Amino acid sequence: MAISVVMPRLSDTMEEGKILRWLKKEGDRVEGGEIIAEIQTDKADIEMEAFGSGTLRKILVGAGQSAPVGQPIGVIAEEDEDVSTMLSPITGVAGQAARPGEPEAPAPVPPTLQAVTPGRIKASPLAKRLARAQGIELSIVKGSGPGGRIIRRDVDAMMSATAAVGQRVPSISPAPPIAERAVAITVSTPSPEFEDRELSPMRRAIAKRVAQSTATVPHFYLTVEVAMDKATELRDAMQIQAPDLKATFTDIIIRAVVIALGRHAAVNASFTGDRIRVYSQVNLGIAVALEEGLINPVLRNCGEKSLVQIARESKSLVERARAQKLRPEEYTGATFTVSNLGMYEIDEFTAIINPPEAAILAIGRIQSKPVVMNGAVQIGQRMRMTLSCDHRAVDGVAGATFLQEVKWLLEHPFHLVL
């Protein structure tokens, strides 16, 4: 029986997906459960399985193209099976054609290659791996990241552009002589005034959700300063006793937040319209920055987990999040989120709540600063953290007492390892 392969819904917020690549080509045999394509969602890159066996008779949405959830993107059927009804009308972008009388779409324009630039090329590790796998010379790719850094989006754009015009992807070739490079550098072209960049599924989802959150969720903010001297000693001791664990300040803060949420359940909640849902289980989200945006891997049921367990699990989650290899159940269902920008030397900031969560904790950097201790001015380690609360579910006192608990635990970290 013929099977229509549709764009699956791979997260609760996913509205469309992008085909990164097909792992099968038309005419290939496909077995049920076999990985046939890689899909980019608003959260991660995910492998898509075939839900039945047969021959991949038609690819309706090609690599580099997007389709809304539920739209047919391919057809699997036996070789002698009639699939004409499943091919017409083809709704995918790949199947779109100019109507009679309408002007044909302009031919794709080959990508503009940059002059070879001597010196070190700035590129992310992911972009380097992808370029190496596809045989793309990074020196001809224009970087759109900070400071002109080449990121994955730039390599994807080069692949799509060359595929659209039927070109072979520019391959790695020996560098030209120095004299030729000098000539190439002298060629100058006017710089465009601006560049409109296509939204990735992740960026589109972030734009929609943060706009919805700020428009519909009444935020209020609470900020406190924490003495991190003893937490620093704990982290240093863990580095010596368990160097392979590589425990971080974020792990220690998460452990404190988890204990505090257990004692102040009103903050571990959601506003549902006519009720306040208070969760008995702590599923803690960890905000992780990616080249394309932000993802929130979730430590599930971590109320009873030790600091060592939290450190191990969070390290694994963050690594797979950065490789965009999380499964949907690993980045959905958080009941509270921690966002730490201290490693970027941010003193303090306020974070936007990720609905339906009722609160999020924003962490700043740890600073050495003069403080008064025991009547004398000394150098102490201080950190500021800000709690954003949904006022429909959390009142000021509830947020303040929770934050007070987190502060006390971090200033008495012995309780975090009991």
User: What pLDDT digit, counting tens, does each position of 321-336 carry?
Assistant: 888 788 888 989 999 9
Most confident option among 99-113, 235-249, 252-266: 252-266
- Exposed, middle or buried, 91 (CB in 10 Å: 0-12/13-18/19+)? middle
Closest CA to 234 of 395, 54, 366: 366
Most confident option among 62-76, 136-150, 195-209, 340-354: 340-354
Task: Give the sign of the dihedral formed by CA 127, CA 316, CA 237, CA 252.
Answer: positive
Lowest mean pLDDT among 10-24, 117-131, 247-261, 324-338: 117-131
- For the chain, give the percent of residues with pLDDT over 90: 44
75 close to 60: Cβ distance less than 8 angstroms: yes
Average pLDDT over the chain, rounded to whole? 83
What's the rounded mean pLDDT across residues 401-416? 97
Residue 247 confidence (pLDDT):
92
The model's pTM = 0.65
Residue 328 confidence (pLDDT):
83
User: What pLDDT digit, counting tens, does each position of 107-135 carry?
Assistant: 444 444 444 444 567 777 667 766 766 66
CB neighbour list of residue 360: distance below 8 Å, 6 or more residues apart:
336, 337, 338, 339, 351, 352, 353, 354, 387, 388
Which string of b and e fits 157-172 if b means at least 16 CB within 10 Å? bbbbbbeeeeeebbee
Is residue 70 very low, low, confident or very high in pLDDT (cuts 50, 70, 90)? Answer: confident
Residue 150 confidence (pLDDT):
77
SS3 category, 267? helix
Alpha-carbon distance 161 to 134, whole Å? Answer: 14
Alpha-carbon distance 156 to 137, whole Å? Answer: 13
What's the rounded mean pLDDT across residues 245-266? 96
Which of the residues are catalytic?
391
Alpha-carbon distance 89 to 92, whole Å? Answer: 9
pLDDT at 235 over 70: yes
Is residue 211 very low, low, confident or very high in pLDDT (cuts 50, 70, 90)? Answer: very high
Is residue 53 very low, low, confident or very high in pLDDT (cuts 50, 70, 90)? Answer: confident
CA angle in degrees (0–180, nearest 5) for 276-281-286 = 95
